[in-house]
Every structure is written in structure tokens, then in C-alpha cells.
Structure 1
Amino acid sequence: MPYPSVGPTTSTASTPRTRGDRVKGAAALMAGWVALLWILEAVNSATGSLSTYGLSPRDIGELRDVIPMAFLHHGFDHLASNTVPLLILGFLAALNGLRRFAAVVLTIMVVGGLGVWLTAADHSVTAGASGVVFGLLGYLLVRGFVDRSAVDMVTGLLVLAVYGSALWGVLPTNPAVSWQGHLFGLIGGVMAAFMFRRKPPMNELIG
């Protein structure tokens, strides 16, 4: 009686992730991220201990807050306004791979944060995930054209139809809103689309 072969079935390391796996991974990541933001805001509202991580401009010591400022908000209303677009845009961006997504988000945070640090008004304190939201918006709008992916082009056009009006947020129309964070976040997202473009298949390279 032959023994069943178990070699190829004991490891899935080389098995490509299915669409369902990518959906679950992206959904879990964004749910966890948003939950973390709400926990941090609850802690900060109760203790005020995290307010120091907001970003003040042109102070060398404040450069350490370029990343943390994206995880803090000026109250629950501020956080609530960012929650839904962050969930949706982050989920769509993460579907193409979590490692790529992490690199994209890090680029957006660094470019957006440095832009705020350089250009924000004196004595201001900037915090919030809206720079990341605008960065993801910019990334999704151009990703399909950079990667030459019809599916991602359609996704970008749908995102433009739903969130295109938000692009007015890059203009200095409201002194209480960090248009600098929006603008430089958007620039960071477009940069990330080019920096982390998908490599073409080998047959395209050879052909």
C-alpha cells in the first residue's frame, strides 16, 4: 500500500496569495490601524500625555514627531472625519501587497511630515492622519497609470469620482486646517506610486 505524498502539501511558502487572502489581509490591517488611532485618542483625551507628539515647524527636536503626528488627532471629531476615508483608501491601496503598502505609507508620512515641518505656520501644532489620507488618494489616482494596470486605473477613476472634491483641501482656504499636510501628503503618495511601481512580467522584459 503506497504512502500518500506529503512533501508538497506541508508548506505554502511558495504558493501565491489568493485574492481572498489579500482582501482579508488588507481589511485586517486597516481595521487594526483605525482601532489603534481610536485607542490613542482615548488615551490622549484622558491623560493629555500624547499631545507632545504633535509636530511644530522648524524645530530640529520636532523632527522626531514626523511619523508620530500621523497617529494623533485634535479630538474625536477630527479623528472621526479621517476614519472612513482612511479605511477605504487604505484598504484599496493594501490590496496590492502589504509590504508595498507599508513602504508607500512610510513615504507619505515622511514626505508629508517634512513638508509640514518646513512650511507650517509659526507656533502651530499639526497632528492627524489626513496627510496619509491625501497621500493614499494621490497614490491610488496615479498607480494604475504608472503600473499600466487597467484594474487599478478603473479603481483610481472611481476614487477620483468619490473623493476628487477633497483635492481642494490642498489649498490654504482654512487657517485651522493643515493644507500643508494635505499638499505634501498628496505629493508623497504620487512619489510613492513611481518609487514602488510594479515590475513588469519577464515576458514583457524579454519581448
Structure 2
Amino acid sequence: MEENHFKFTNAVVGVPLFFVLFLWFVYWLEIRFGFDFDDNGILPRTFSGLQGVVFSPFIHSNIEHLYNNSIPLIVLLAALFFFYRKEAIGILVYGILLSGAITWLIGRENYHIGASSLIYVLVCFIFFKGVQTQYYRLVALSLTVVVLYGGMVWYVFPKIDETISWEGHLSGLIAGFILTFLYKKPEFKKVIKYDWERPDFDPSEDKFMQRFDENGNFVNLPKSEIIEECQIEIDPFFQSNANVVYDFIENQEDINNKNESKTES
């Protein structure tokens, strides 16, 4: 794949901002009109709790919970839509559904809400996909994600904090890892800068490579053969021994006088 695959588009900024603003809008509705959306979260292994698979990422218990999820979502979604723009929508949608379904299967009997499971989906996908591609830009992105959010891995274990849904975090981690295999990234092609990187390169035709023998030792090029130039014979028809005399006339008056002095034949 060529370098121009990574393009800055409006989605790189627009989608993360719109998504996070929508989360704040939902929380504002809950505060402004006294709604309680917690009942729309994931309630594991219940039929009514299945609605939370779709709705739980948009519901937050308090403003601190919402704030802690907002900044990572903006950063990770922007990275996703810049480096994986063709796969971004699918990863976002299927990441929410898959992580929610796993939480519904393994979660405690309590309502699970918040977009933290989606954050774990994005962190896991970006990290492992960059490692799988072995492309230097995506590997650098993977390392950046580890530096920024590597500490989040502790919150996928139980009894670290009873107030958080470690099941949702673990589900997001599993879902992100599964998506790295479902979305195959095309092979990245190395940009060819030198002739010797081309597949049809022939070392025997290269002037520089000819200075080395088969063992890699420097050798002098063989002396080039001197080709004697053949003298071209001129046809005698075009040769003459007669001298050609040219008259030099300085001005137009001399030309007119010369013409008048000529006798007519």
C-alpha cells in the first residue's frame, strides 16, 4: 500500500467530536429532564438487558465518568479514522456490539454502562493491528498507544475496583483483538528509491556492481577495446583542384557599380 493511504479528512476530527458531543448531550438530557438511563444498560443474561448492547456506551453514571471517557475517545477515534479510515466505521459499530455481547455473557448481575468498553476495543485493535502489519507508522502508533494507555490493562482484572465494570473492559479487549483478524489490512509496499530495490534489477548490468567479483572483492573493470576509426573515402566527383575566389564588397553602391561594369553577353 502506498504512503497516500494515510489522508487527513474531515472525519478525523468530525467523527470523534460528534461522538463525544452526543455522549454529553445524552447526559444533559438525563440531568435536565430527570431521566434515568441506567436501566437501559447491559443486564447480563436477561432478555431486557440485551438493549444495553447498543445503548450502554452512550450512558454514564456521573460527569466524572463521562469526562474520563471523553478525552481517550477523541484521541483514539481520531487515530482510528486517520490510520484505518476504510475500516473505521466497521470497527466502531462491530466493536460496540461485540464488546456489549461479551459483557452480556460474562458480566455480573448488575447494570453495565459507559463507553469504556469501546475505549478498550480501540486500544486493543490499534495496538495489535499495528504489530501485525509490521509497518513502521502503525507500529509507532501502537507504541504510542501503549505509552498513553498501557496502564489501563490492570482494570481488566477483577477486584481492582469494585465500582467499575472490569467485565466490560475485558470484553472490549477481547472484541478489539478479534477485530484485528476480521479486518485484514492490505500489505504495505515499500517505496522504491534505488534501482537495486526493483524486482527486475540485474547486478551484472549495473556499473557499480561490476566493480566487485563474486566474493565481494573490489576489482578493476576490464579495459575497453579500442575501435579503430575507418576513414571515409570521398567520391572524386565532389573534389576539385580549382581555387575559388570571393570578392568582398563593402556597400550597395559598389555592388551597383560592379553590375554596371559587366558586359552583357
**CA 202–167 in structure 1, closer or farther in 2 if over 3 Å, else same:** closer
Deviation string 1:67-100 (CA, Å, 9 cap, x unpaired) is 1111111111110010111111111111134441
Paired letter, 1:141 = F
TM-score by length of 1: 0.82
Answer yes or no: is 1:20 the counterpart of 2:47.
no
2: CA distance, partners of 1:43 / 1:155? 36
Partner-residue secondary structure (3-state), 2:78: helix
Structure number with greater Rg is 2
Report the equivalent of 1:191. Answer: 178
Equivalent of 2:165, from 178, 190, 194?
178
For the Cα contact (< 8 Å) 2:42–2:112, is it kept in 1? yes
Paired letter, 1:42 = W
Which is richer in helix?
Answer: 1
Give the CA RMSD over aligned residues. Answer: 2.1
2: CA distance, partners of 1:135 / 1:67? 15
Q: Percent identity?
A: 22
Paired letter, 1:149 = Y
Report the equivalent of 2:71. Answer: 84
Paired letter, 2:7 = R
TM-score by length of 2: 0.65
Gaps of 5+ in 2: 191-198, 200-265
**CA 60–39 in structure 1, closer or farther in 2 if over 3 Å, else same:** same
After the TM superposition, list the runs of 4 or more consecutive aligned residues in structure 1 that deviate by more than 4 angstroms: none
Answer yes or no: is 1:57 the counterpart of 2:44.
yes
Equivalent of 1:154, from 127, 132, 140?
140
2: CA distance, partners of 1:18 / 1:138? 20
